[in-house]
Structure 1
Amino acid sequence: MMADGRIVVEFVAADGAVTPRADTLLVVGDGRQPGPAEGWAGMVVAQPAATAFTHALGCQCCLPRGGLAGLMGDLFRKRATGGLKWFTRLVVVPPPGQEALWRASMEKDVLAQARFRVEN
């Protein structure tokens, strides 16, 4: 049996607790910047660009990669090239009511699925 080397993705509600770890990158969708009191001092915090998560027309290979999937591709590239501290866990805190859209954005993207796996 082979080990799964993909980065673990954990979705957490906006009001949920997140345990900071050295191997974790946090993505916050509402722009809230966690501070030292939350244990995130020195951690990278990113926010997806305000782009559509879905598109009604066209095939998957023709659609632009936007939203969370596009951000995850950028994070993976920066991690691989040394632009970000090496991380093995990605905690995603979507805006309230948008978790399903964010999950769908990731689950529909072939590249995101190849590099990341949802744990919860």
Structure 2
Amino acid sequence: MTASRTSLIPLNFLSGASSWPEERRRHALLIGNARPEEAWGDVAAIPAPSPFRNRHATGCLCCSRDPVAMVLAQAFQDRVTGRRPFFHEVAVLTAPQEMSALRQQLENDVLVRARYRLVS
């Protein structure tokens, strides 16, 4: 059974402080560093890339997946099993110059596309 477009979790990209209303942030997962004045439903840090990235064979899981994609996979699993607060949408905080490359990597990640709908 294929998930409908509306059943996918919205995934947004932010390049700075969020202009989202507090009510929206309260039901969202932020991936990145939250500003002290912003209250999010949950926050997940972006891990440093693996030191082995691109050193193993083509298709190696630790070399080919972006750290944000790995966080998204774990966040989804934790949401389903109740180990993470339920979130309605996700915001990824990234530098403006990295946004296009990150978006492209996440668009090409089959597991991300199966669970999330890239919005902005």
Alignment TM class, shorter chain as reference: 0.7 to 0.9
Specify the SS of the correspondent of 2:70.
helix
Task: Determine what percentage of the aligned residue pairs are the same residue.
Answer: 25
Say if 1:6 and 1:114, in contact at 8 Å, map to a contact too. Answer: yes
- Length-normalised TM-score, structure 2: 0.76
Aligned residues: 110
**Which stretches of structure 1, 4 residues or longer, exceed 3 Å deviation after superposition?**
54-57
Give 1:18 shift. Answer: 3.2
Q: TM-score, normalised by structure 1?
A: 0.76
- Would the aligned equivalents of 2:17 and 2:35 in 1 still touch at CA under 8 Å? no
Gaps of 5+ in 2: none
Q: SS at 1:98's partner residue?
A: helix
**Which runs of no fewer than 5 residues in structure 1 stay unpaired?**
none
> CA RMSD, aligned part only?
2.4
**Structure 2 residue identity aligned to 1:25:** L
Instruction: State the match for 1:8 in structure 2.
Output: 10
Match of 1:34 in 2: 35
Instruction: Tell me the residue number matched to 1:46.
Output: 44
Which SS does the other structure have where 2:76 is aligned? Answer: helix
Higher relative contact order (CA 8 A, sep 6+): 1
Q: Choose the corresponding residue for 2:27, options 23, 32, 36.
A: 23
1:22-52: CA deviation from partner (whole Å, max 9, x where unpaired)? 3211112xxx4322x33x16x3111211116
